Every structure is written in structure tokens, then in C-alpha cells.
Amino acid sequence: MPLARCLLAAALASSSLLAQAAQPALTRITAASGLPRAPEQEAVTFERAELSFKVDPARKWLEGDATLTFRADTPVDRLVVDLDRNYAIDAVEVDGKTVAAAQWRNPEGRMTIDLPASLAAGTRATLRIRYSGAPHVANKAPWDGGFVWATAPTGEPWVATAVQGEGCDLFWPCIDHPLGEPREVVQHITVPSPLVVAGNGIAEGMEEKNGWRTYHWRAKNPNTYAVSLNIGPYELLQGEYKSRYGNTIPLRFWHLKGNAAKAEGLFAEFTPMLDFFEEMIGPYPFADEKMGVVETPHLGMEHQTINAYGNDYRKGDAGYDWLLQHELAHEWFGNQLTHRDWDDFWLHEGCGSYMQPLYLQWLRGDMEYMTALMKQRAALVNKYPVISGRGLPENEVYKAGEGPGNDTYYKGSLMLHTLRGQIGDDAFFRAIRELVYGTATPKPGNFKSRHASTNDFIAIVNRITGKDYRWFFDGYLRSAALPELRATRDAGGLWLRWKTKDDTPFPLPVQVRVGDKVIDVPMTDGRGRVELPAAATYTLDPHSRVLRELPHIAEFQKDTADRAKAAAEKAKAEAARKP
């Protein structure tokens, strides 16, 4: 995810579905988030999820009681939800009446409940499922999904969930698809006293009885994988942010005991980051709830209004905490705007990754902006297209040998840099704003959470510019290889030609510097010419506006890989020689 650090980027490009020998094998439905919805799931609107959890860290055990309200958009005979088979189902009810065991089944993590009578369009049904069991454990969160059972430095239990890759069904019955977002989620989370629960949305109080505490939280339109549990010996930092849009945003940071001084330093970064996002993109989307952050035993995740933070307050060369900034970006790109399918994951991660060079440009200027982009460029792999053109579950985006992986982050970001240079700042930021909010003039109260696809964004760009940019997005997102700018010099000048896969048209204008003069080359039909005096030198794309194939980057990557392989083999041989 973050731009300049390849190892940490691989970390936050989470959910690679690592094998876990210690855990029972997950079935296909449970393990893969974003598989096509069942017809019964497509037939309903998920209006409300009321989720009661009792979390027992000593036993590593979860008791769940979920009451789900669905409205039928078309007639439906069954309700279908996704729920991990790690749990035993204790009871099932529909509209307050017990459903016999013969009327429901959950063979592979997709639970089907037969209704006593067909649900007519426009009518509602309330499904209640009580369940219990040992939740799937994330051995290396957030790379793999599940529960993290940890111990805080002061000795208390420290528990978190991170389920982006494997999905919400790892701990609550849901529709595990980007379009399965419930309109409201209410959580009642019971934990041993005196542990604290930091949750999504608005805090609605806490009750304590018989050595247990129950915390109540309420959130609107949460992204399915953004619903989370965060439990620990937390202390709370509080403040307020006065928005340029006239409203006031609650700021909350739950940090571990003993980290107060470091937490104060991180908390101070909330305000400039909000200044940046509100100025460059638009209003913080969840201002009537909070901007919240919680310290977690895993690296991080964009949990709506309660972003997970586990970067250990590290100081970076950029002068800000990259993890905090990247996860905050997802409140706009991921939570306010949610992709319609995982094949369009770059809308979350490419846009979110571009926010980090952009933040550096906003903070300190062009040198640090370009430096951050160059670090992204050095990490591109370009083996698989960012967009496959078919519906994908999340795990296939990261599947070794098949998916784009971290190119979803970096290629998406660098493409946006190129698009900005092509259409100009006014059109670029208006297009981003409309993508996120559905309007070019967002204000608190005049927008709702929304879903979008790559084609939606292309349509916005085309309408704003009055030109057809499908060729641009096809060249960068639907092709694995980058376009190559070929230059051939003859006696009178320089011929330029864009080379793409299958020689598809790519009429991207470029600049050429000849001496002290920069020449704009239109590249009509993907070709152009620059006249050169006999002794003149030239530089292609002197201001680095264009993402393109660069042979020296490929050579650098190969040399780095070869050296790493040789070092590993040497270390292995030395280890074998030791007695």
C-alpha cells in the first residue's frame, strides 16, 4: 500500500490467503470474498444488521447473535447469507419464529434458509441466527483474514479482526460481496472487564455486569469488510476538527496504555491530513460519526470510522505516518466509494496510493511528490492486467501467477498521475470528486455512500473532458505491459511511436526537450515527429508526466532479484555447512 516501502506495501496489500496449517481448511465460499452473489442475495436490500458478540479471549471463543433485516426487491422464497462453518448454529428464526433444522443448511459457508412463505416484493423479513465457536485465526494479519488473539505489553488481552480477503462471514452472517453493504449496523460487544471496545460509527454507551462489559456502537452503510472488533486495554484521546465545510468532526484515537506520549504525536497528524483530503477531494464522508483510529496488533486496515493502526509509531523519511494517511484515504476510496466488484480494486488502492505522493506535493512541493512516484515506478511488475474484465473474488487479485497484486496500487496511482497531466488539474479533481461523491459540489448532507466501477469513472472523465479516453484506461489497466515510447532518429529529426500490445491505438501526447526548449508532440494516431538540428540532444518526457515502459527499470529489477537469489543461496549453503 504505502508508496516507498516495498515490504510494507506487500503487507498492506493484504489478504493474500496464505495457507494456514494450524487451521481447518476453509471451504471455497468462506475463503473467497466477492464471489458472485446467490440470486436470493441479489433479490434483497440488506437494511439492517444488529450484531451481538460475546468475545472470550481466554477461550478464544465467540458467541454471536445476529438479527438481519432484508427487504425483498423481487419475490424470494429463501434467504441466503454467508457464514463461516467454524461456528455451530444454535438457533435460526424468521420473524420471531423458530426455523426447523431441516429448513436451513450451510454446507460450504453459504447458509440458505427456506422461508415459510414467499416474500413479496416490497415486504421485509427478519432473520435471526445464534451461533458460537472458535473463529478462524489470522496467523499473519492482515495478509490473511480472521481473528488476532494477542497480549498487550501490559499483559491484558488484545483482540482484533481483519477480514478484507476472506470476508465478513468470518465472524458475522453477511452478504460477502461489495454490493452486500447493509444500510445500518448496530453492534453490542461483550468483553471481560475492564477491557475497552473501539467500534465502527457512534458510541451508544457501555454497561458493566458480573465482570463483563457490553459496548454499543451504531454505523451507517459500512463496507462489509470494514465492520470490525477492536478490544484491548485502551485509553482514549479526543478532539474536534473544524471543517472548511462548516461542520465539526469528532476525532478519536484509542491507544494502548503506556503509549500516551507517542499517541499524542500521531493524534497531531489527524488535522493536517484532514485539511489535505477535504481540500483536494472533498468533505470527510462520516463527519456525523467520527474520524476514529485504534491501535491494533496487526499492521492496519480501513475499517470505516475506526481504522486499524499497527505501525508502532515509526518515523519515516516522508515526515508523516504513511499507514495513518493511507488508511485514512480509504474513508474516501473504499468506504465512501466502494468498488462494485473486486476486479475494480484499483479504485480503492490505486486512488488511495496516489494520495500519498499528492500529500507530499501538498505538504512540501514537487521534489518529494516526484520522488514518491519514482519509488512506486520501481516496484511495478507488469505481468498481469490490473483489470481482467471478469468478475473476481478478492483472493484472485493477489493470486500468485494470476493476479496483478501490488500493481493494483502502484499502476493505478501512476496512471492517475498521467491522467492528471493529460487532462489538467481542474478536470482531474472534478472527475475524482464525482467518482467519490456522485456530485462535483459535495457538501455535508448532499451525498450518500456509493458504488462504482472503472467504466463509471471513464464515463465521468469522458463527459468532463468531452473526449473519449477509453483507449487510455485500456492501455494502462487492461493490458499487462506498459506502452512503450519508441524513438528513431534520422538525418532531420526524431520519429516517435507508441507501441502497445496488439498495436492498439494509444494517442497520448508527449513532450520532448530539445536544448532549452520543450516541444509538445500531439502523437496523433500514436505517432509524432520532432525536427532536430544535427548536433542537438533530446530528452523524452522531461517532466516525467507519462507512465511508460523504461528498460533501465527492468534491468534494475532483474539485477535486484538476481542478487537476492544469490544471497539466499549463499546463506542456505553456509547454513548447510554448519555442524
> Which residues are catalytically annotated?
327, 409
The position carrying cell 505501525 is: 311
Residue 193, SS3 per DSSP: coil
Alpha-carbon gap, residue 310 to 150, rounded angstroms: 13
β-strand 307-309 against 300-301: which pairing, if any?
A: antiparallel
Strand partners, 213: 191, 208
Give the Cβ contact number of residue 124 at 10 Å: 14
Distance of CA 102 to the CA centre of its chain: 39
Strand partners, 44: 72
Give the Cβ contact number of residue 381 at 10 Å: 13
Sheet holding 300-301, edge to edge: 234-242, 248-256, 291-295, 307-309, 300-301
136 is annotated as contributing to ligand binding: no
| Helix ranges restricted to H, 292-440 | 322-329, 346-364, 366-379, 394-398, 407-423, 425-437
Distance of CA 485 to the CA centre of its chain: 32
| H helix or E strand, kind and range, residue 559 | helix 551-577
Alpha-carbon gap, residue 32 to 40, rounded angstroms: 19
β-strand 44-56 against 61-72: which pairing, if any?
A: antiparallel
Give the Cβ contact number of residue 282 at 10 Å: 24
- Joined together, the cell numbers standing for residue 449 give 455512500
CB-CB contact of 63 with 53 (8 Å): yes
| Sign, Cα dihedral of 284, 286, 289, 290 | negative
Question: Cα(first)–Cα(last) distance of the chain, in Å?
Answer: 42
348 is annotated as contributing to ligand binding: no
326 is annotated as contributing to ligand binding: yes
Q: Which residues are documented as binding site? A: 326, 330, 349
Q: Which residues are documented as binding site for Zn(2+)? A: 326, 330, 349
